[in-house]
Structure 1
Amino acid sequence: MTGRIDLRAAPFVGACADLLGRYAAVFGWAWRHRRAGEGSVHTADERAFLPAALSLQHTPVHPAPRCTAWLLMGLFVLAVAWAWFGRVDIVAVAPGRIIVGERSKIIQPLERSVVRQVLVRDGDHVQAGQALVELDPTNAVADTAGLRAQLTAAAADAMAAGLLRQALAHARLSAPQWPPARAPGVAGPGIAEAIARDGESLANLRTLVFPAAERAAAVAQLDAEWRDIVARLDR
């Protein structure tokens, strides 16, 4: 591979090389002798008796201005570097609202209760179906007692209505035969009240003479009440 050299550019390149070499030599000499003029051959007392111009020339410069200048230049360089490479986050604060894209579902218990005891601790291994907390059964026991009382009253009313229906259907005013309780857990006081109410009804029936139409209407009304009570008990 051959190349062609322009001979006219050679003197210019040589002159530039010589100039740069000269500057490099001068800079090297100045750098090597940069501390030569800092020292003073005169003491402070000798400089005090020198003429004003010589005293000013031989007195070393205080380092505070030089340190201040270097500090300012360093801060300027640091500011320029931070402005170039730094990153400023812009934070905007404004009121907003979260809009759910799908249907929202409210998760809450059917009934509120009071936790009596926590049966597990942090870090325990649990299994499926294991009880984690124990709830206070006070409200549940009160509700159960109220429902049981309502069930007893409804069973007693159903029994009394059935006996009256039986007496009116057969035109029999004697004391009826009491059937066993329909629902379990029917208390004795409820049955006693039903017997007392039925006895009063039988006493009233003994003193009255029912026409056929009134007897049929009474039978229909009692039959409707009986069916309603039986339907409530079956639920």
Structure 2
Amino acid sequence: MSQIAKTRAQDFSYEWFDDKALRGYIRLGGTASQIVKRLLFWVNRDYKELNKEDWEHLRYEIAALAELGWTNPTFEDWSKAAESWLGEYFDPEKQACYLPYSENALEFLQIISSCIEQLANKSSADLGPISAVIRIYRQGKEKQPLPKFGEMIYERERITDKALYTTAKAIQHCGGLVEVCPECSLYFLLDRINQKYCSTTCSSRVTTRRSREKKKAEKLATQKKKRAKTKKSTGKKI
């Protein structure tokens, strides 16, 4: 965890993502940190308050994650897939079948939310269920080489399953940096090892509140001393 935080080349922020989620992905490159931060953006929102446009953006993002598969995404990977995303995936009349249904998007969001909650509680996280197809090899007339022990062939059929594989790779890389902001209770990804709050806004808010509380305490202490001094000068018992 500390090693990842120390070796990060640059800082990230939620403001880097524009309203068109996929275009933001393509523009930024799609590192593990950026993927996890974008997922936290959705987890921090109440899915009951998402509107139709929000669900559409989420469905496109799931399709983008599914397109990446097992690979460690680089800027070239995102750019190479950009043509198909912008040309086909964004045409609901021609290629609507490439997008998950809203109920599948909700299931995906619930799975990710559960995983992030486990990570924030410092426990091991479960990301699933992820479906897989087991192929049985039988020796016939034409002998086929048997798979090595422990080798499995994954047949990722649903788009949400494919997206979960990419998500698992990203979370495995930097999931240990997920924390909960003590001020606003939102999930965030550490940008530095000693970071405590999700943003400068929360940090400033805490600093301002503590300063006011300190001044208030000092004022009360001063008033108490003045009252004690007045009572003493009038001969009354304190």
TM-score normalised per structure 1: 0.20
Flag the structure with more relative contact order, 1 or 2, with Cα contacts below 8 A and sequence separation at least 6: 2
Task: Tell which structure's C-alpha radius of gyration is larger.
Answer: 1
Q: TM-score, normalised by structure 2?
A: 0.20
